[in-house]
Amino acid sequence: MSALRLLAAAAMFFAAPAFAEEDTLTIGMTLSQTGPLNVDSVAQQRGAELWRDQVNEAGGLKVGDKRYKLRYVTYDDQSQGGRVQQLYTRLIVQDKAQFLFSPYSSGLCATAAVITEQYGRLMLITGGAEPKTYTLGNKYLVQVITSADHYLTGAIGALQSKSPHAKVAFVYSDDPFSKAVTVAAREQAKESGFSIVLDESYAPATTDFSPIINKIVTASADALLGGGHYTDGATLARQIYDQKANLKYAALLVAPDSPEFASLGEAAFGITVPSQWEIQATYKPEFGPTGAEFVKAFQDKFKIAPDYHAASGYQGGIILQHAIEQAGSIDADKVVAALNAMDVTTFFGHYKIATEEGHHGLQTAHEMVLAQWQKKNGQLEREVVWPKSAQTADILYPLH
C-alpha cells in the first residue's frame, strides 16, 4: 500500500511541471559571436533581446487567455554555414524551439531555412535580404526587411540626380547577399544611363584591395557601388582612402551603417549606405513603440544607439507577437496564416509579405533610405539623404 502511495507521489512530482504558473514559449536562434559577421549579428541579437525583456516585464506574451514567458535558446554559429545547420537542427530537435529567428546574413539564413523547412517550423528572417531563398518553395519563412534587389535603388537614384552620366564601378563581395544586390543594381544602373566601367567581385575574406583599387583608378570611375558586410566593407573603405582612389561618390553595403564605422575617421567621411531604418525615421506605428521610444529603450539598456540591424531584430519580435495575438494560438500553421494576412506599419516601416507559391515570405512593402556620413560640428554623424521626402540633410557630392 505504501509503495503505491510512493508511486503516486512520484507521479505527481513528475506531472507537476505541467501545472506550473506560467507556460514558456521557446524561440531558438544562432548568432555570430565570433567570425566576420560578429558586429552586425550582435546588433541584431540585441534588438531581439530588448523585445523579449520588454514582453516578459509586461507579464509575458498574451495568447488567447494564456500568458507565455519568452525563453531564448541561442548558440554561436561562428559565422559558418556548416555550424548553422547542425545548431538549428539541435534547436528544433533537442531544445524544442517552437519558433526560430534567423541568423545574420543571407548565406546563413538560407542554410538555416533548409532545416526549418525540413522540420516545418516558422522562422522570421530579420537578417537576410537575398530573395532567392523564397523561390525555392517554402511554407514557413517570413522576411521582415527589404529584399536585396532594392538595396541600391536609392543610391542609384541619388547619384543620377547629381550626375546623370556617371561612370560606375561595381566592386562587391562574392556572397549571396551582395551578389543579389548587384544583379538588380546593374540593371537599374544601365536604365539610369550610367556606364559600368568595372564589375568585379572579391572573395569575402579579402584584406588586400590594392589590385582592385588600382583597377578602379585605371577605369577612371566616378562612383563606387558595392562592398559586402562589415569587415570587408570597412577594410575597403579604409584602403580606398589610403590609396586616394579619388571617387566622387561611394555607396557601400551594410558596413557604414554600424556605429563602429565612425572609428575609420576621415576614411568614413562622405560614404553612403543603403539603410533599412535610421533613427530619424518618422513612421507612425499601428502597434509597438514609436521610433523615438525604441531608440530610448535601446539606449537605456545597451548604452549605445541602435542601428538598422538592431531595429530589424526588434521588428522580428513585434511582428511575431502581433501575429500570435491575431491568431490567438502558437500553432505554426495558424501563426503563418496571420503573418500572410498582415499589412501593417510599425516604427520600422511597412510590413507585408508575398504569399503566392513562387515567392512566399518575400517582403514587399518595406522601403529603404540612403544615409551618408557627414560632419556636424566637427563630429561624424549619419544623415538621411535620400529619398528627398525623408531626408534630414542634403547629399554631399562630389567628395573629391
Considering beta carbons, is residue 61 or 171 the nearer one to other proteins?
A: 171
To the nearest whole angstrom, how small is the minimum distance from the Cβ of residue 398 to other proteins?
A: 16
Measured CA distances, 256 to 149, 292, 383, 389 (Å): 19, 22, 12, 22
To the nearest whole angstrom, how small is the minimum distance from the Cβ of residue 242 to other proteins?
A: 5
Provide the grid cell at 398.
Answer: 562630389
Q: How many CA atoms lie within 13 A of 268 on its CB side?
A: 23
Measured CA distances, 77 to 41, 56, 82 (Å): 10, 26, 8
Q: What phi, psi does 99 have (nearest 5°)?
A: -130, 160
Considering beta carbons, is residue 45 or 173 the nearer one to other proteins?
A: 173
CB atoms within 10 A of CB 346: 25
To the nearest whole angstrom, how small is the minimum distance from the Cβ of residue 181 to other proteins?
A: 12
CA–CA dist 55, 69 (Å, integer): 8
CB atoms within 10 A of CB 266: 9
To the nearest whole angstrom, how small is the minimum distance from the Cβ of residue 133 to other proteins?
A: 8
The residue behind cell 536562434 is 29
To the nearest whole angstrom, how small is the minimum distance from the Cβ of residue 360 to other proteins?
A: 11
Considering beta carbons, is residue 95 or 325 the nearer one to other proteins?
A: 95
To the nearest whole angstrom, how small is the minimum distance from the Cβ of residue 215 to other proteins?
A: 7
Interior/surface letters 295-323, b for 16+ CB within 10 angstroms, e for the rest = bebbeeebeeebbbbbbbbbbbbbbbbbb
Considering beta carbons, is residue 224 or 371 the nearer one to other proteins?
A: 224
Considering beta carbons, is residue 200 or 325 the nearer one to other proteins?
A: 200
Considering beta carbons, is residue 193 or 211 the nearer one to other proteins?
A: 211
Q: Which residues bind other proteins (CB under 8 A)?
A: 33-36, 38, 75-76, 78-83, 85-87, 89-90, 93-94, 107, 110-111, 114, 117-119, 132-133, 135-138, 173-176, 179, 200-204, 207-208, 210-212, 214-215, 217-218, 231, 235, 238-239, 242-244, 246
